[in-house]
Amino acid sequence: MTQSMDDKVVIVTGAGSGMGRSMVEEFVAAGARVAALDINEPKAKEVVAALDTPDRAIAVAVDVSSEESVTAAVRQVLNWAGRVDVLCNNAGIIDSFRPAHEISIDEWDRNLAVNLTGPFLMARAVIPDMLSRSQGIIINTASISSLSAAGGGTAYTAAKHGVLGLTRQLTFDYGKLGIRVNAICPGATLTGLTVPEGGSDTLPDSDAEIMRTPAQRWAQPSEIARLALYLAGTDADFIHGQAFVIDGGWLTAARNPI
């Protein structure tokens, strides 16, 4: 049975597409009020408008890599709902899959800014409110690229490894103060990041690498969102500082090709 999020106030970043969109839908369906944050505000508005109960959510523009933008967005959420119970740090971008000597400093900086500085800035902005109530949940969308190479290029892999470091340090610093922090490490998931709008030339399910994994398929974003919902609930109260791999066995297969 889905855990109730009754009147919890949840922020989801990267809410306009993919896993973030599914997180908005799952949390609202579980009874939460959700702030759908995205750099693409029209997309976030579409997500909110398509909900069965659009009055339980708001769309907020944010660039998670910008301190100013994050401060303004969190202020808007606090004005709307009065508090933040759960932060899903989910916004992210992929890199060009290139090795170190082939990437520009701009690509490196942008990837780190969105994928690592973004979750840090968002956490930093909501933590004072959480500390004031000795209560809060932070869920970082990391990746199998947080634990292994080859799921992205140099910048993405380095940034996503950093997200686990952030998860663990936040746990160390704030766990005793009531804030529970965990990370989700998805494998190949059908989202705007893997299948850009307009589709792709290759059929995702026939992708050779995917077919070598035990699950032999891509994940649906809702499967990742339901893990976030579980981690935000009281059933997960004893879980701190962990990295949950949800990859259809990809990493197992990478170590033991089948």
Active site residues: 156
Does 171 interact with ligand NAD (rule: CB under 6 A)?
no
List all residues 6 or more positions away from 160 whose beta carbon is below 8 Å from its beta carbon.
115, 116, 142, 143, 145, 146, 151, 152
CA distance 59 to 49: 9
> Applying CB under 6 A, does 188 fall inside the site for ligand NAD?
yes
CB nearer to ligand NAD: give 66 or 135.
Answer: 66
Binding mask 43-62 for ligand NAD (x = CB under 6 A): x------------------x
Among 111, 117, 143, 154, binds ligand NAD (CB under 6 A): 143
Element (H, E) at 148: none
Q: Which two tokens stand for residue 244?
A: 């949950």
* Chosen residue from 9, 11, 32, 63 binding ligand NAD by CB under 6 A: 63
Q: Which is nearer to ligand NAD, 1 or 208 (CB)?
A: 208
**Helices (H), ranges, the chain:** 18-29, 41-49, 67-81, 105-112, 118-132, 154-174, 208-211, 221-232, 250-255
26/150 Cα distance (integer angstroms): 30
Shortest spacing between CB 60 and ligand NAD, in angstroms: 10
The residue to which tokens 């597409």 are assigned:
17
Q: How far apart are CA 119 and CA 218, in angstroms?
A: 25
Considering only residues 13, 111, 157, 167, which one is a binding residue for ligand NAD as defined by CB under 6 A? 13
Instruction: For the segment 229-258, give every residue that binds ligand NAD (CB under 6 A).
Output: none
Select the span of 84-92, 120-128, 129-137, 234-242 touching ligand NAD (CB under 6 A): 84-92
Interaction between residue 14 and ligand NAD (CB under 6 A): yes
* 182 binds ligand NAD, rule: CB under 6 A: no
Q: Which of 3, 29, 31, 40 binds ligand NAD (CB under 6 A)?
A: 40
Tell me: does residue 167 bind ligand NAD (CB under 6 A).
no
CB within 8 A of 228, min separation 6: which ones? 23, 26, 27, 88, 90, 139, 141, 184
Distance CA 154, CA 123 (A): 24
The amino acid sitting at 231 is: L
Q: Which residues bind ligand NAD (CB under 6 A)?
A: 13-14, 16-20, 38-40, 43, 62-65, 90-93, 114, 141, 143, 186, 188-189, 191-194, 221
